[in-house]
Amino acid sequence: MGGHTAMKMTWLVVLDPINNLISKTDTSLAIIKQARSCGIAVDTATIADLYFETRASVLATDKNGREYTRPLADYTLILMRKEPPYDLAFHYSTQLLSLAGTMVVNSPSALRDFNEKLIALPFIEFMPPTLVSSNPGVIGEFLSRFEEGVVKSLDSFQGKSVQKIKPTDQETVISITEGGEKPIMVQKFMDRVYQGDKRVIMLGDKFLGAALRKPKKGYHANFANSDAIKTELTEKEQNILSLLGPWMLKQGIHFSGLDFIGEQLTEINITCPTGIVQISELDGRKLDEEIVDYFVNLTSSRSA
């Protein structure tokens, strides 16, 4: 990477309050640290710091903790790394970021258009049996085809809303759909999750790295509750990525985390994909360097 190019750059990272993040394992903090080591000036902000008065601006915090106001257009790149839930505050922040006048990753329009559960549905042939509905009767009929299923809210993350249920468990269905008012995703439960859920990181349309997340107990496979195990892509998974990668890049999605259970796609995370610290340790690589290089080259070629 050209150090001279990087030193002229100023990035903004929009994320959750930094005090709440776990510095040892957080992907956003790893990227910020690496970018600053390359001479890039990196400011941070929460979505509450974004505002519009004559132009889209931010109350930013610099590396020394100093707060100041700055037009969003002044930044070379804005990384949108706010974790779900996707609520109205998140939605409105993407509207402001659409007015930034500079490159935002991932694209604010993609964040608005593609819910992290629903984004995978155009690729249903690669997914386990899946239903999206708010109707308890429709959901019950779907579940009756399998011994067990999982239900999940469309606006949650880190498996927080994932529940394994039996076809007869109508009470859970009525509860999670709020009496048939709120759509949810329902999938066939896959026993392979006990062996691990594979998190695959994509950078642009290319595979960056992967880790198998084996639950320490139960079936919730995420980095918080699982052992991270070194893994590789199967031929089938490589073929799926070769189709998904160009499609996501076309939507302005440059950084994503895909989840596979038994070679079947279950989710595509585009708001705040995580795992680069764990994968770097497993593979003896520095994914944060590769990510920063990618964005430096991307913004340099764009401005040229």
CA 9 to CA 273: how far, in whole Å?
23
251, 103 Cβ separation under 8 angstroms: no
199 and 183 both lie in a single domain: no
Instruction: Report pLDDT digits (tens) over 256-290.
Output: 999 999 999 999 999 999 999 999 999 999 999 99
Among the three residues 189, 212, 229, which one is the final residue of a domain in this structure? 189
Cα 294 to Cα 1, 84, 99: the distances in Å are 9, 25, 24
206 and 292 both lie in a single domain: no
36, 44 Cβ separation under 8 angstroms: no
In total, how many domains does the chain have?
3
Rounded to two decimals, what is the model's pTM? 0.94
- Strands in 226-230's sheet, in edge-to-edge order, are 226-230, 206-215, 197-203, 255-261, 264-269
Instruction: Report pLDDT digits (tens) over 242-259.
Output: 999 999 999 999 999 999
Cβ count within 10 A of residue 170: 15
> Average model confidence (pLDDT) for the chain?
94
At residue 160, the pLDDT reads 58
At residue 233, the pLDDT reads 98
Instruction: Report pLDDT digits (tens) over 124-177.
Output: 999 999 999 999 999 999 999 999 999 999 886 655 578 999 999 999 999 999
CA 200 to CA 164: how far, in whole Å?
23
Please state, for a pLDDT cut of 70, what percent of the chain lies above it. Answer: 96
pLDDT confidence tier of residue 61, bands split at 50, 70 and 90:
very high
> Strand pairing partners for 228?
213
For residue 22, the domain's CATH number is 3.40.50.20
At residue 185, the pLDDT reads 96
Helix, strand and coil in the chain, % to nearest 5: 35, 25, 35
Q: Scan for tokens 């680069």, then name that residue.
A: 276
**Which segments of 130-239 are extended strands (E)?**
130-133, 149-153, 163-165, 184-188, 197-203, 206-215, 226-230
For the segment 43-69, the average pLDDT, to the nearest whole number, is 98
258, 202 Cβ separation under 8 angstroms: yes
For residue 239, the domain's CATH number is 3.30.470.20
Instruction: Report pLDDT digits (tens) over 86-128.
Output: 899 999 999 999 999 999 999 999 999 999 899 999 999 999 9
Residue whose C-alpha is closest to residue 12's, from 304, 299, 258, 252: 299
Domain that holds residue 202: 192-269
11, 40 Cβ separation under 8 angstroms: yes
At residue 221, the pLDDT reads 78
At residue 158, the pLDDT reads 54
Give 226 or 5, the one with higher predicted confidence. 226
Instruction: Report pLDDT digits (tens) over 4-28.
Output: 567 689 999 999 999 999 989 999 9
pLDDT confidence tier of residue 45, bands split at 50, 70 and 90:
very high
Residue 123 lies in a domain: no
Element (H, E) at 184: strand 184-188
Return the exposure string of 83-103: e unless at least 16 CB atoms fall within 10 Å of the residue's CB, then b. Answer: bbebeeebeebbebbeebebb
CA 272 to CA 193: how far, in whole Å?
22
184 and 196 both lie in a single domain: no
